[in-house]
Amino acid sequence: MTATGSLVLLDAPQLKRLATVVHRQEMIRIKHQKQPDDHTFKKLCADSRAARDKLIRALDDAQCAYDELAKSNDEADARRKKIAEDHFWYLKNSFNNAIQNVRNFIIRDEYVSAVEAHSKEVLENLFNVTKMADTDYVETLAKGCYQARESALEAARRAMRPTARHYSEWLKETGIGFDDLVNRSQVKLNKTGYPAPEAVGEPVMVGEGTFGGEFSDLTELQKIMVYEDVMEESGVTVSKITAKVNFMGAAGMAVILLAVGLLAWDVYQSAHPLETAVRGAFDATIGLLGAMGGESAAAIIATGVLAEGESTALFIAMASFAGGIAGAFIVGALVAVIVGAILGSGGKNVPLTVEGMKACLIELPDGRALARQIQAYSG
């Protein structure tokens, strides 16, 4: 996810066009790459199509909601109109991030699905007469939608910034793993707490002693805080997303957690240029076996490819799947399962046995480059 330029903020029609172009290119590459069986081929096609369709459907629904409220001259609808506008921008910011920075369509579908679920919840509340009659609830919803808009934009911008490679190199030299890195930040926050979001002036620390136990047992907000601390420890200057998400609700938190978790992984892996080696090993295995089952994917790729200290199931799984955000090439049902388990556990849980799931090798299109082409063509 190393940055190669500033973020291209496409509008809704351009995003739909980009999603369609990316999907078409994915379909071409899926068809041209030998698949282990017809079921796997159809599933990959369906997953790519789903990532496109969910994005377009969510944008259309948010646009319709905003357009409906924009027609009203009723003063009572003015607040709802602003909420709908912020929500629409949240979707555009999130989907710019998803298509431009997440090349692996399996992971992108997970991200888009989380955004769509959150969007449905917001729009249902926005047109709920009973809830909208409650001024306190309207204010909470308004704050949540504005926070979502700003947090999604910050996550997208972060994905375009260079990672602290020297810090990643130090981690590599000292043998500190991703789970160790996450645990250090968790222990630190358990001891110090975090600045209260609403504090004015000098920071007021709260939450001391609440980050103990397993990472997987933390709240989604706490997990986001831990991943943000991982980035801060690397020397990357960031605007605090956690200061902007306290009104977003569980569905919104899930979106930001995935985005921030992938960014934290990028801090760790930036000094480990493994794509060529991993892809070569995977390609050789595909040639011999036709495909790999989920139970052996990470182990087979690791053999004879990585330097000592890097041949771990965790590193291989994430380098191949999430690390491929900058050059994604491994797809299949097990990708979402493994990446979700790793980020949800802070690197402690790597489910290598995923019965019935297979991984396939496909060079995926570069959404970031395509976005620039669409912007240039539209201009």
- Nearest of 144, 81, 82 to residue 118 by alpha carbon: 144
What pLDDT is recorded for position 164? 53
What pLDDT is recorded for position 163? 56
Which tokens belong to 22? 């990316």
Q: What is the DSSP string of 227-292?
A: HHHHHHHTT-----SGGG-TTSHHHHHHHHHHHHHHHHHHHHHTT---HHHHHHHHHHHHHHHSSE
What pLDDT is recorded for position 1? 37
What pLDDT is recorded for position 25? 95
pTM to 2 decimals? 0.75
The per-residue b/e assignment along 9-42, b for 16 or more CB within 10 angstroms, e otherwise, is bbebebbbbbbebbbebbeebbeeeebbeeebbe
pLDDT tens for 47-89 read 999 999 999 999 999 999 999 999 988 877 889 999 999 999 9
- The low-confidence residues of the chain, meaning pLDDT below 70, are 1-6, 34-36, 160-172, 197-201, 235-248, 265-345, 347-362, 379
What pLDDT is recorded for position 39? 82
Which tokens belong to 173? 């030299």
Report the chain's C-alpha Rg in angstroms. Answer: 21
Which tokens belong to 175? 């043998």
What pLDDT is recorded for position 292? 41
What pLDDT is recorded for position 340? 63
What pLDDT is recorded for position 187? 94
